Amino acid sequence: MKWLLDNWFTLALLALAACAMPGVVLVILRLFEVDGPINNWLLLTFQITYELRLSPWITLILLLLPVALLLLYFLRLKRTPMQVPSTFLWKKSVEDLHVNSLFQWLRENVLLILQLLVLLFLIYSVLGVRLHGSTMKSRHYILMIDNSASMSVKDVAPNRLEWAKQEALKEIDAASDSDFGMVIVFNSKATTLQAYTNDREKLRDAIRGITLTERPTRIEEALLLAASLANPVRSTEDLSMQPADVPDDQKRTMVQARGISTVVHVFSDGRFAKLSEQAIAKLKLRGPDDDPKQGGLNLRYHLAGSLAKPGNANNVGIILFNVHRQPIDAKKKADSQQLLAWVRLANVRAQSAAVRVKLDVYVEGEKRHSLEQSKTIPARKYVPAKADEEDDVDEPGEAEIRFDLPSLELRSNIVLHAYFVNQQDDFSLDDHAWLAVGTTRKAKVLIVTKGNSHLDAMFKQEGTQRIAIAEWMTPADLNGDEYRKKARAGDVDLVVFDRCVPADELDMPLANTLLIDRPPPPWRRGTAVLKNPLFIASQRDHPLLKHLTTINDIRTHEAFVFDVRKNLSAEAAKEADLPIGHAKHRTLPTVERIVETSNQTPLLFAMARGPHTDLVQTFPLTSDDGGLLSDWGLQPSFPLFFWNLLYILGKVDDSVRTVSVSPGEPMVLRPDAGFRFVQLTTPDQRKIKLPRTERNEIVFADTDKLGIYRYQVALAEDERRLVNEPRRGFAVNLLDSNETNIEPRPSIRIGNERIVSGEKKSQTREIWKWILLLVVVLLLTEWIIYQRRIAV
């Protein structure tokens, strides 16, 4: 006992060191980010995990504090010796003081122990140990950040996106460690940057990593993504799925939806298109009074941007840029084309704007013409909403400029660049627009027939020849090498088999096909036929039936009945019967009915064959002797159908149609059949080599930058031969009136709900770390003062 009393100070120090050791080890492990296994072990053994609540360097300082304190303590012990005539009175004085205060002899040592203890607590508090399985209530929140083009406007410093990021970081700071957050960034698409986590550092990292894009805004996808992630539908028996008007006797027992009450923070300037009806139907918003257990999104809108003057934003922009081919004047040269360019301008200023628009015409990369026009765009009409239900009347002033371009060579690659001259506004991305007018890509069609007057008439007319190059073969040629070479090289876009098919499945071409009166191998044309079937369009909006309104008028003598199972050859049927997972198991394709008869028997249907499509027409057009078996060939719908066929399955590209996409949208390049690769140059002069896939097309999705993307198609692997290949291009343009109107919206409308941007409310910031710091400072100050003035 006496020994204990004598050595209590040393023992206490040792005990403290022993207590501190696990904490120190944990902190160091976390600092070096190797805390995974120990956290797992802690979770399994003690149901706890830990993380650092302070940044590493502060933690390190905190760790060193006890050491510093000990050092100070021992330094203090090293007193300066000083000679005095007599220690007689001093000793007496010290003794007097000691007698005066009880336990004075304990005092300084106890202080040290207490201080060390406080520091120890601090270290453990910083560790943020969490007990799992507790009933601590945690919130869920989703941070949706708009990084579309209009977020680059600098009406708030440094720009809207940076402001939004800062606000989002504050929102993370305001959340507690038990709250789960998610980060979604949206522009024309929505991306989950960070799934639900309570590691706020991860959330912060995700926020910090967001950069500006030049894409337009579509909030729909982001909201649906948030809704699906916030409240995944777990069961169709959920209460939330119960229709509202079910009679009492038909009501089913529904389980309570285990919705998570989620707060969705939208950081945006509010400039996006209205949500579609489908999206609104899918979205479930939650009002403040709704039961949070029902799920639903609790939307909070944070306005990025300043609302200094409603109805006036300093911006004019190009919102539409199009080019039309004028009817070719017979007098002009046959190989030239006359183009007409339209530029639609928008003005979101409160006063009219006089602008000068220039149109540069580049032919094969060289500037040939430069046209300029002046125009005054009327002022924007803006009437603020009077009632809550109404929307603001907000019509930016619009004007259109038409440029009649001089006649240009038909086959050359033409790029048009429209832009404002000397225009100063807050948003520059919409001041330029580009268009690429390229060469027509013709479909290469192989027709295998014994003779068909309708097909002859179709493909030999001049109009068709402008978009398609047809080749003829006879069924006898199907066994020859020439056919096989063509079929396997993928040199054609479309093969028409008229009343004949290759005997072997392997001989089917690497191209889309139209099969007349025959199914593709391994299916057999059965003997079952329908007499005089009635033609009904199964999918009216199918692209192949575009402009076809008189399908019902088609008459045919007979059509074979096709069943994907029954018509299968015996050998293939065996393979189809094999269990799934068997190496030889054959998965039967889905039959996409396009035209059918009354009992859903297909008359025209499509089947996928790898990347290609086999279109099967179950009735012949003519008999072998040239007799007419169907009147379709005489109907107006026949050439229209073939025209669609050439455009879709033959991949005809007449250049002015799809040469412009929005940033971020994928661009489908359809080079000539049989190409090897495509060399693409982006507007910032990056060169990208796009290799050929199985299909005769390439999907290019890296279209984030506005401007002209040029590409060359290589027909051989040798890159040097690219020089001779024609240059083509496509344009990526913003052309979005919602982005051009850069004025932020104080409220957003989701269906009937209007969500007003949050009032400036005081953030519940975390102050515990500051208090922590204060405690440390106070303790040290107290120690110094005590030692200097009061204590002995």
Partner 1 sequence: MPETARPTPLLDPQFLHRLEQLELVSRKIFTGAIKGERRSKRKGQSVEFADYRNYVKGDDLRHLDWNLYARLDRLFIRLFQEEEDLHFYLLMDNSLSMDFGTPTKLHYARQIAAALAFIGLVNMDRVVIEVFNDHVVESMPAVRGRRSLWRVMNFLEKIAPAGPSNLRESLKTFTMKSTGKGIVVLLSDMMDKAGYEEALRYLVARQFDIYVIQILAQEELDPAIQGDLKLVDIEDADEAEISVSAPLLERYRQNLAAFQTGLQEFCNRRGITFLATSNQVPFDRLVLSYLRQRGLVR
Q: Are 551 and 545 in contact (CB under 8 A)?
A: yes
Nearer to partner 1, 81 or 627 (CB): 81
Strands (E), 618-676: 660-661, 667-669
Least gap, CB of 90 to partner 1 (angstroms): 5
Number of neighbouring beta carbons within 10 Å of residue 532: 10
* 146-205: contacts with partner 1 (CB under 8 A): none
Among 3, 5, 83, 389, binds partner 1 (CB under 8 A): 83
Least gap, CB of 779 to partner 1 (angstroms): 19
Least gap, CB of 182 to partner 1 (angstroms): 57
Q: Are 557 and 532 in contact (CB under 8 A)?
A: yes
Nearer to partner 1, 205 or 782 (CB): 782
Least gap, CB of 86 to partner 1 (angstroms): 4
Nearer to partner 1, 634 or 792 (CB): 792
> SS3 string of 370-427?
EEEEEEEECCCEEECCCCCCCCCEEECEEEEEEEECCCEECCCCEEEEEEEECCCCCC
Span of 177-185, 220-228, 390-398, 783-791 interacting with partner 1 by CB under 8 A: 783-791
Least gap, CB of 18 to partner 1 (angstroms): 29
> SS3 string of 562-624?
CCCCCCECHHHHHHHHCCCCCCCCCCCCCEEEEEECCCCCEEEEEEEECCEEEEEECCCCECC
Least gap, CB of 204 to partner 1 (angstroms): 46
Span of 45-53, 281-289, 514-522, 784-792 interacting with partner 1 by CB under 8 A: 784-792
Least gap, CB of 9 to partner 1 (angstroms): 16
DSSP conformation class of 342: E
Nearer to partner 1, 112 or 443 (CB): 112
Number of neighbouring beta carbons within 10 Å of residue 269: 29
Nearer to partner 1, 584 or 788 (CB): 788
Distance CA 663, CA 703 (A): 5
- Three-class SS state of 487: helix
- Give the number of residues in contact with partner 1, rule: CB under 8 A: 25
- Provide DSSP, 188-251: SSEEEEEEEES-HHHHHHHHHT---------HHHHHHHHHHHHS----TTBGGGS-S---GGGP
Least gap, CB of 94 to partner 1 (angstroms): 6
Question: How many Å separate Cα 245 from the centre of its chain?
Answer: 37
Least gap, CB of 101 to partner 1 (angstroms): 9
Least gap, CB of 196 to partner 1 (angstroms): 57
Nearer to partner 1, 32 or 88 (CB): 88
Number of neighbouring beta carbons within 10 Å of residue 452: 21
Among 137, 252, 331, 789, binds partner 1 (CB under 8 A): 789
Span of 190-198, 353-361, 392-400, 781-789 interacting with partner 1 by CB under 8 A: 781-789
Amino acid, single-letter form, for residue 426: D
Q: Which of 448, 484, 441 is closest to 654 using CA atoms?
A: 441
Q: What's the distance, Cα to Cα, between the start and end of the chain in Å?
A: 27
Least gap, CB of 790 to partner 1 (angstroms): 6
Phi, psi of 530 (to 5 degrees): -110, 135
Rule CB under 8 A: say whether 791 interacts with partner 1. Answer: yes
Phi, psi of 62 (to 5 degrees): -60, -40
Among 5, 32, 37, 86, binds partner 1 (CB under 8 A): 86
Q: Are 322 and 434 in contact (CB under 8 A)?
A: no
Among 21, 61, 67, 89, binds partner 1 (CB under 8 A): 89
Rule CB under 8 A: say whether 88 interacts with partner 1. Answer: yes
Distance CA 730, CA 699 (A): 13
Among 1, 18, 44, 84, binds partner 1 (CB under 8 A): 84
Least gap, CB of 788 to partner 1 (angstroms): 7
Distance CA 459, CA 444 (A): 11
Site track for partner 1 across 62-81, x = CB under 8 A:
--------------x--xxx
Least gap, CB of 115 to partner 1 (angstroms): 17
Span of 83-91, 278-286, 331-339, 414-422 interacting with partner 1 by CB under 8 A: 83-91
Amino acid, single-letter form, for residue 257: A
The residues, ordered by sequence, that sit 6+ positions from 118 with a Cβ below 8 Å of its Cβ are 775, 779
Nearer to partner 1, 97 or 716 (CB): 97
Q: Please count the residues of the chain.
A: 792
* 438-467: contacts with partner 1 (CB under 8 A): none
Nearer to partner 1, 82 or 583 (CB): 82
Least gap, CB of 78 to partner 1 (angstroms): 8
Least gap, CB of 208 to partner 1 (angstroms): 49
CA distances in angstroms from 202 to 43, 228, 231, listed in the order given: 20, 21, 22
Span of 553-561, 576-584, 748-756, 782-790 interacting with partner 1 by CB under 8 A: 782-790
Among 40, 87, 374, 479, binds partner 1 (CB under 8 A): 87
Nearer to partner 1, 107 or 202 (CB): 107
Nearer to partner 1, 81 or 158 (CB): 81
Rule CB under 8 A: say whether 574 interacts with partner 1. Answer: no
Nearer to partner 1, 45 or 100 (CB): 100
Site track for partner 1 across 90-129, x = CB under 8 A:
xxxxx-xx--------------------------------
Nearer to partner 1, 85 or 581 (CB): 85
Nearer to partner 1, 115 or 712 (CB): 115
Tell how strand 297-303 and strand 698-700 pair up.
Answer: unpaired
Distance CA 628, CA 615 (A): 21
Span of 82-90, 123-131, 436-444, 552-560 interacting with partner 1 by CB under 8 A: 82-90
Nearer to partner 1, 86 or 135 (CB): 86
Nearer to partner 1, 96 or 389 (CB): 96
DSSP conformation class of 722: G
Peptide bond into 579 cis (omega under 30): no
Nearer to partner 1, 98 or 139 (CB): 98
Span of 85-93, 292-300, 371-379, 634-642 interacting with partner 1 by CB under 8 A: 85-93
Peptide bond into 522 cis (omega under 30): yes
Residue entry with tokens 């990526």: 732
CB pairs under 8 A, 24+ apart, for 281-286? 282/224, 282/227, 283/223, 283/224, 283/227, 283/750, 283/751, 284/227, 284/231, 284/240, 285/750, 285/751, 285/753, 286/261
Distance CA 206, CA 199 (A): 11
Nearer to partner 1, 84 or 334 (CB): 84
Q: Are 238 and 257 in contact (CB under 8 A)?
A: yes
Least gap, CB of 778 to partner 1 (angstroms): 20
Least gap, CB of 104 to partner 1 (angstroms): 11
Least gap, CB of 129 to partner 1 (angstroms): 39
* 541-560: contacts with partner 1 (CB under 8 A): none
Span of 84-92, 223-231, 337-345, 715-723 interacting with partner 1 by CB under 8 A: 84-92
Nearer to partner 1, 83 or 600 (CB): 83
| Contact residues for partner 1, defined by CB under 8 A | 76, 79-94, 96-97, 787-792
